[in-house]
Structure 1
């Protein structure tokens, strides 16, 4: 089975708990085919795909270690809920975070490291998000409740982003994402 790799910001426990509590309250009205395990919550910075041979990952590790030296710890707060895909039948149900120039800078630096290590990345605009569920699974259309975009504004619970992880996917396991390397940001 192929393994895919990606660089991402892990989500701290207190934010995972906020998301899980919200999901437990609202899940019965949201018939998605699959829900993401809370330990798999993350914000993808760069998706690498199937990487062969491993020397490319070693080269990338060196590049990320170099660029991460210019990135400091920063706070990140939850904001709301949104979707990707059709409005009546979304393929991705996700949590957003408050705008963060530090997160955007970090993602730009990670992309530079990937470029210099020879990875060809998808060049879609960066939309930081935490995938919560996939594939709407109902004959009834999805109807986005008013205020979902700001559902966490009163309970943002900022957390400190202190690292970036290199993950590999293990599709036959739950949780399915395994951190195989961690890169620490500078303490400010």
Structure 2
């Protein structure tokens, strides 16, 4: 199977761990739980593209976010996509700051300037945690809880490659950091 690629906001390890701990009481409700190392917030899905196109996209994204500052982000609760009584995606949402939407627009526009066709669905920031409601006879009940986690600093964007036969299945191929006052940016080559 041809690998797919996407740009995503990288979550700090402590946030991945906090989401995984919340999912421990819920993962049995779904056919497939996402491995905690695979938690991320997608900014632009590229699909199957050539290595040269990937390199160009990384260069364009780097230029587009070169002046973007890191920003606070908070995981706030769970939600679903799909049929209300049998959702296909279970996710953790964010407080949706304007800076996140601006970052997504910059990454998306950079991909288009690089000549890539990307998924044009409206941006709905989320971290997928599980897929496919397991019990067809018992309808899913939407959770009405709010999670209270400390904010974290959204500071790194990465290009990931999907390896469906591996667990975890997303491999970081490139990344760049957002601007932080008093710090130099450290950006890596495409591996």
TM-score by length of 1: 0.92
Offset of residue 25 of structure 1 = 3.0
Offset of residue 90 of structure 1 = 0.4
In the alignment, which residue of structure 2 is the partner of 1:34? 32
CA RMSD of aligned residues (A): 1.1
For structure 1, the residue ranges without an aligned partner over 5 or more in a row are none
In the alignment, which residue of structure 1 is the partner of 2:87? 90
Offset of residue 124 of structure 1 = 1.4
Whose helix proportion is higher, 1 or 2? Answer: 1
Q: Equivalences for 1:1-188 in 2 at 5 Å?
A: 1-28=1-28, 31-52=29-50, 54-139=51-136, 140-145=138-143, 147-148=144-145, 151-152=146-147, 155-188=148-181
For structure 2, the residue ranges without an aligned partner over 5 or more in a row are 182-191
Separation in 2, partners of 1:40, 1:89: 23
Separation in 1, partners of 2:175, 2:127: 19
8 Å contact kept, 1:14–1:157: no
Separation in 2, partners of 1:104, 1:123: 14
Separation in 2, partners of 1:35, 1:25: 12
Separation in 2, partners of 1:74, 1:123: 25
8 Å contact kept, 2:6–2:44: yes
Aligned residues: 180
In the alignment, which residue of structure 1 is the partner of 2:186? none
TM-score by length of 2: 0.91
Write the deviation string for residues 122-150 of structure 1: whole angstroms up to 9, x where unpaired.
Answer: 221110000000011112111113x23xx
Separation in 1, partners of 2:54, 2:31: 33
Q: Secondary structure at the match of 1:15?
A: helix
Write the deviation string for residues 74-124 of structure 1: whole angstroms up to 9, x where unpaired.
Answer: 111011100000001100000000021111110000011001001112221
